[in-house]
Amino acid sequence: MKKITFASVLSLLSLATILTLSNCGSKTEPVEPSKEELLTGHTWNFDEMILTVNDQLINQSLLELLNIDDLLGGEGSFDAFEADVTFKTDKTYTATQNNQTAEGTWAFASSETQIIFDDETTTEIGALSTTNLNLIYRIPQEDIDAFIEANPEIVAQIQFAGIVLENIVIEIRYIPAN
């Protein structure tokens, strides 16, 4: 029969203490995904678009009158906002709408609160989570001024409706693809 010594008891107690302490704090908190992981973790399906002028929501008939394509720079420009978008970790994106695909580059700016598309167009991130992506595009005032100068009849009708063409904001809302 083996004799239990003080040293063996001390060794067992030391081992038990080490095992107990190593289990303390072993529960790891879930790590929140980074903004890049959230952005690149889904294909984002277009959900809805909201257009405001001077914080006033624009209804569909006024939207058609405004001819937002001209304001944004040409035919189909407004429709491009309605594409489904996939952001990739290599800083490229693919936008798909009606079986047509456009590709380009993207980068974060301003502490990951903005996205720069194709090194030229800056869009604010209104919201980014696992369940939604809201991008906010503010039309530059010089583009608004050029539109006003080129379209005096349309502007007169819009002004008749009580709207001054300043601070035009497009908010595009996306949801993750299934």
Question: Where is pLDDT greater, at 31 or 28?
Answer: 31
pTM (2 d.p.): 0.73
Q: What average pLDDT does the segment 19-31 reach?
A: 64
Fold of 36-176: Lipocalin (2.40.128)
* 66 pLDDT tier (thresholds 50, 70, 90): low
Each residue's pLDDT tens digit, 122-135: 999 999 999 999 99
Q: Name the amino acid, one letter, at 169.
A: V
Q: Name the amino acid, one letter, at 161.
A: A
With beta carbons less than 8 A apart as the criterion, state whether 4 and 11 touch: no
What is residue 124's predicted lDDT score, i.e. its pLDDT? 96
Q: How far apart are CA 158 and CA 25, in angstroms?
A: 63
